[in-house]
Structure 1
Amino acid sequence: MQKRLHGVFFAVFLSSTLIPAVAQMSAKGPISGKDFDDAAAEQAKRYLEEGRETFRFDTFGSEDFWGGKLKLHEAIAGEKLGGTGPGLSPQKALELGLKVDVNAIP
């Protein structure tokens, strides 16, 4: 299933890279092979950067489920920090798979 998803993502990525590149080049006149390759590479680079931003920062709605409905953040924090239950130590949270953005930690 995951391989199929990667294949679909790659096909969409590839087509969304080439179509704007061709449109951009055709507006300027005849297309040479190098000009096309340069435009496609620039478009691919831009889409890759946008994709990284999306997959890094977009939660795809999961924050509503985990935080809004289950209130997982309260269970992790524990009663001592305004949550519910015993909470988790930072070590235990990491052992259980909590992801931490090391670049966001001061």
Structure 2
Amino acid sequence: HWQVRVEAAVSIGKLDYQAALQPLVEATHDSFWQVREKAVDALGKLGAVGAIPALGVCARDPMSNLRKAAIGALGAIAHNDGRPFVELAMDDPDPDVRKLARWAMSKLDAAA
């Protein structure tokens, strides 16, 4: 059930459980956007640099909630590999995504 997968992603993110990195990356491809969103949130909390390509895919998802989560995660990770995805989000049609992209860019600039 998708709601169980949502709760699992939330719990893993709270535990800072690095061994869960691969299952969380796989969850970014789940058929339910809510599962993808919580997996993305957890990856951001884990500071998962290895997940940046998957987060970049989510940053271009049709669901604005998922794009916001992905840009937020990229800002939390603050690794330069995420910069191209954040730059693209600066022109997102959703103003909330653009706002998060500005925040994420400030995190990237501070980490550089």
Structure number with larger C-alpha Rg: 1
TM-score bucket (shorter structure): under 0.3
Q: Which has the higher helix share?
A: 2
Structure with more relative contact order (C-alpha pairs < 8 Å, separation 6 or more): 2
